[in-house]
Each structure stands twice: as structure tokens, then as C-alpha cells.
Amino acid sequence: MSLAGLFDVDSAATGQQVRAEPIQRRSAERLSTLLDAAAEAVDAVGFDRITTAMIAERAGASIGTVYRYYPDRVAVLQALHERTVLRFRQRVVEEFEASPPASWWDVVDCAVTAFVGLYRSEPGFRIMQFADRERANAAEGVNVESGFFATRLAIVLADRFGLPDEPQLIFRVEIAVEMANSLLCRAFLNDPLGDDRFIDECRRVVHDYLASFYGAAVAVPVAPPIAV
């Protein structure tokens, strides 16, 4: 089973946030243009100050078009959040392909590198943290995003690197994901390039936490790492 397959970027169980599924090609483009506009707006004025008019204008569309696709203002931001999470997962896979992980801590490094890279290059990536918390209000029953990502990550770690496939593994990976997420967001809070002290400490903390259970000995290199 390939790493890319495990992360299975297509099977994103998307929420019901889209009002009308796009039929014609142009509407698919519209959808992504709207999200691009929202992402720009996030960087320009921050979450709260975004207006639907602002999104429409930046996307070269009218207000009505926004509401054709999304039921309300918040739904646009949720959709942006989902797309951002998706792109993060894609980037993690790309990192895997660029420098195949030889051990479980390389996986952690890839994920951190992907996160940092996107924070620096992807417009509106700041939205990664806000919705994690915000979601709880909206959809009570829905599982937490970080839990979903953590579960998939745990599968990779178990399948490819021999970490024991217990329920505990998922829990621990979720702890690691939560910690990493908060420390990385902190790293970018006042520094647009990310404060390296926090980024480095994030790598160390997550590594040490998982190593306290799974040590370095469990690592099962599958392929030699490629120097990049």
C-alpha cells in the first residue's frame, strides 16, 4: 500500500457546505476562484473583517454567485478550510515522494516541513488553526479534523514503520498532531516566516513524545532516503 494511497487525497468526505454541486466546467472554476479570493481576503484583513462583498469583488463575481454556492459567509470559510487541509495532505504526500521517509520520525519531519512550507507560500493558510476550534460549534457530531488526520497518519505509521496497531496509537498520534499544530501556529503568530525556535522545538517535542512510546528501535526503513 503506497503512502499516497493511504493519504488518499480524493476520498475527502467533504462536508455539506456546498449548496449546488457544479455541473458545467465554468462553475467548478468559479468555486475555486471564490476560495482563492477568500484566501486572499483572509491574509488581507483577517477572518472577522471578511465581507461577502469583498470575496465576490476579488473573485470578479457578484454577490449572488457567492450565495449560489455557499449558504452563508461562514460556509465559505469552512470550505476554504477544507481545501486548505486537503492541500496540506497533498503536500505531505509530495514531501514523502521528494524524500521518502526511512523511519517514523521522518514522517513527522515531512509533516512539519509541509505545514511550514504551506504557511509560507499558500495564501490564507492561517485558516488552518481557526476552524479546528470553530468547527465544534457548527457540527457537534462530526469528528474533529485533527482526529481524522491523526487516524490516517497512524495507519501510515503502523503499516509502513511497524508501530503497533493498537487503539492507543491513534490517540497518541492525535496528541502529537494537536501539540504540533499549536506550536506551529504559535511560530507564525508574530513572524510571517515562522519563528524557527518554535518550529525546531515542535519537531523535537513531537519526536520525543512518540519516541517515549515507540523508541528509535522500532523503525523499519523500507527504502533508503534520497538526498535532495
Partner DNA sequence: TCGTCACTGAACGGAACTCGATCATATCCA
Partner DNA sequence: TGGATATGATCGAGTTCCGTTCAGTGACGA
- The answer to whether 32 touches 22, Cβ cutoff 8 Å, is no
> Taking contact as CB under 8 A, which single stretch among the options 15-23, 106-114, 134-142, 157-165 is the one that binds a copy of itself?
134-142
- C-alpha cell read off for 165: 496497531
Closest by Cα among 41, 75, 151 to 159 = 151
Q: Does 30 bind DNA (CB under 7 A)?
A: yes
> Taking contact as CB under 7 A, which single stretch among the options 52-60, 143-151, 159-167, 174-182 is the one that binds DNA?
52-60
Binding mask 39-68 for a copy of itself (x = CB under 8 A): -------xxx--------------------
Distance (Å, rounded) from C-alpha 210 to C-alpha 197?
20
Distance (Å, rounded) from C-alpha 49 to C-alpha 98?
38
Distance (Å, rounded) from C-alpha 79 to C-alpha 187?
25
Q: Which of 35, 79, 183, 199 binds a copy of itself (CB under 8 A)?
A: 183
Distance (Å, rounded) from C-alpha 78 to C-alpha 132?
10
**What's the closest the beta carbon of residue 217 comes to DNA, in angstroms?**
54
Q: Which of 12, 28, 189, 226 binds a copy of itself (CB under 8 A)?
A: 189
| Interface positions with DNA (CB under 7 A) | 20, 22-27, 30, 50-53, 60-68, 71-74
